[in-house]
Amino acid sequence: MITGASGGIGASAAEALARRGAALVLVARRREALDAVAVRCGEPTRVIVADVSRRAEVRRVVTETIAAFGRIDVWINNVGQGITRQPSELTDEDIDQMMNMNVKSALYGMQEVLPHFKSRNEGHVINVSSMLGRTPYVVARSAYCGAKHFLNALTATFRAEVQATHPGIQITLVSPGVVRTEFGLNALHGGADSRQLPDSQSAEEVAEVIAGVVESRLPDVYTRRGAQQRIASYYATLGVDA
């Protein structure tokens, strides 16, 4: 089950997993775009139009997926949105939007699928975060950085809670850097085209990492080599002993 599957990383992840024989449920708000991805993935693929920033919609996705396939093995929280606004100019509405899209959408997914996973003592949640959740170096993305920091902490603590009683359930964090998608253009208040930014990677590269995590079930994964060194270097420039 993949949220945000109508384009970008979500669509590429769907295609990568389809090539590996996965039965897919693709979730997003845009029916026509979802249908196009489903055609590329082939059968068995089901499309569910839903707004996963609303808990009731996420609950419906869980119910419809189990009704269609009998179980859920992997739940990928991929919905997210950026923002372009200086931190001194942020409004209540800006913060609320970042939390709804980047944190609550994932929280609803984790909470609503958890009873099903607990009933089987198995299952896998994958939360797609960002390197900006580790290193808040883009000033105009401040609220997005904060939301992804929140998601990172939520993922780690949710994992610790669940695995204390149900060790068969894994909760993974995947952290890409700049990805060549329409993410920047779709940011709140607009933004630079991510496809034109330097030092980027393709959605297909990120998708292959996600597909690999479905198999490896590692808890915390970056999509580019050297990511941990980049994080250490960032904090070293601030005078922090990493």
144 is catalytic: yes
Whether residue 29 contacts residue 40, with contact meaning beta carbons closer than 8 Å, is answered with: no
CA gap 185, 83 in Å, rounded? 10
Do the strands 24-28 and 123-128 form a parallel or antiparallel pair, or are they unpaired? unpaired
Of 137, 144, 222, 235, which is the active-site residue? 144
By C-alpha distance, which of 160, 158, 172 is closest to 216? 172
Please check whether residue 195 is in contact with residue 181, taking contact to mean a CB–CB distance below 8 angstroms.
yes
Residue 133: which residues within 8 A CB-CB, separation 6 or more? 145, 148, 149, 151, 152, 175
- Catalytic positions, written as ranges: 144
